[in-house]
Amino acid sequence: MYLKQNKKIFFILLLFPIIWSLCTKNPIGTSIESENEEVSSLKFLYDLTYQKDGKAEREQSILSAELDMIKKAEDFIVLDLFLYNDVYDKTQYQYPNTTQMITDALIAKKKENPNIDIVFITDPINGFYGSYIEKNMQLMKEHNIIVIETNLDALKDSNPLYSGYYRLFIKPFGNNGKGWISNPLDKIAPPINIRSVLKLANFKANHRKLIITEKEALVSSANPHDASSYHSNVAVRFQSDVIPYMLEGEKVIAQQSNIILPKLEYKNTENHTIINTKVKYITENGIFHRLIKNIQQAKEGDNIYMGIFYITDFDLIKEIEKAANRGVSIYIIADPNKDAFGIQKDGSPNRSVLTQLHKKSENIHIRWYDTKGEQYHTKMSYFDFGYQNVVLLGSGNYTRKNLKGYNLEADLEIITEKENDFAKEVAAYFQKIWNNEHGNYTVPFETYQQNNFAKRILYYLQETTGLCTY
């Protein structure tokens, strides 16, 4: 009898952390889906690394736009950026000092205008989850810039088989303390401690990439992070009354770290609007809802173009297949998942996922971006409905973690007419890459086609359980 009671107690203790983890929720104020708002300026930006005549070529516009926004700001600057550091193996690679450029610009702005409010929000990964203080953030703090490391513990757990046990048995001991483990990204970077490694295994993040000032905003897929400098990305710079929704979302993140932001007020200085064009700010679940709704709206004769770094979400994949079977032409440009900051990857998850999706319909067309050490880091969909066009772009990868309310994400949906300059620029972007116009951007589907049963099963298990980084 005593043995049976002990078994019951043990079983309850074993299950309780998992149940606790499954019951976690994101804070109120995340998963934003704003109203459709008018827009007074709209600029499509992109970075592309590609080959031409056997040499690497780069077209880059996102960083310069970010620096220009910082320069022109007068009242406030809010930055929410996922990766922000210069940690990489400098004995093997050399990248631009992208992170330092942003840091220097912010400090210069604060010196020029001491009264300007500058808020820098980021993910704890940059100091390896409390192992050390990232040097750029330390510099910003010394110049009276508000620096906030997102409280990831406030977010919903994506890895319930682990996170409940972490919350109960590891989190109470904190993450501070001298590290002794060599930093896996850079041997000369400060060492990390075991509790920080254990926090990493929760697999959650503030993955947003945005900048807001009193005049305008920018939503992007790009991290201003040295080792990401040559990745291919997209962004949109704009002025719209949707920006107050963005500011409210950032206040929520700050509050989870017990920081109350100063009053930040967007001032739309433009007195005209772009005709027949609306924008919607969407985060977390909102990105999923808008993606699904636009795919379901597509009918025979419509076209959908996707540029993706990761795609794994089961529901999204099903809707793509249904759309193709309705006669919608779908064109996907995907990263082959073979390069990650000097580490060679095995193609997971994209190759397994897209190989299976390609079999579902002759209306699904796939090409791989021809990466040479960098990544095709874009997260964008372009819906050509004939009568109008819809573009979704931003930080959200097409995975469960990014679309189902686990990570913090930020996208913009742009609804406009086909003859709008923005729509034309996005269409031209896809055509250039798909058709390898004036350069070598993409390779045929067969190049990275992968029929590997074991990897396919692994993808299903990882996507279902959350035991993965994507």
Q: What is the DSSP letter of 195?
A: H
Cα separation, 227 vs 138, in Å, equals: 20
pLDDT of residue 124: 95
Other Cβ atoms within 10 Å of 361 Cβ, number? 19
In angstroms, the CA 93 to CA 341 distance is 9
In our burial notation (b when 16+ CB lie closer than 10 A, e otherwise), range 2-34 reads: eeeeeeeeeeeeeeebbebbeebebeeebbbbb
Q: Which pLDDT tens digit goes with each residue over 239-297?
A: 999 999 999 999 999 999 999 999 999 998 777 899 999 999 999 999 999 999 999 99
Q: Which region among 99-103, 127-131, 183-187, 461-465 has the lowest average model confidence (pLDDT)? A: 183-187
Q: How many CA atoms lie within 13 A of 228 on its CB side?
A: 20
Output the CA torsion sign for 456, 460, 466, 467: negative
User: Which residues, other chains included, contact 299 with Cβ-Cβ below 8 Å and sequence gap of 6+?
Assistant: 326, 327, 328
Summarised one tens digit per residue, pLDDT across range 409-428 is: 999 999 999 889 999 999 99
pTM as predicted? 0.95
Please tell me the distance from the alpha carbon of residue 177 to that of residue 190, in angstroms, as a whole number.
12
What b/e string do you get for 36-47 counting C-beta neighbours within 10 Å, with b at 16 or more? ebbbbbbbbbbb
d(CA 63, CA 223) in angstroms, rounded, equals: 9
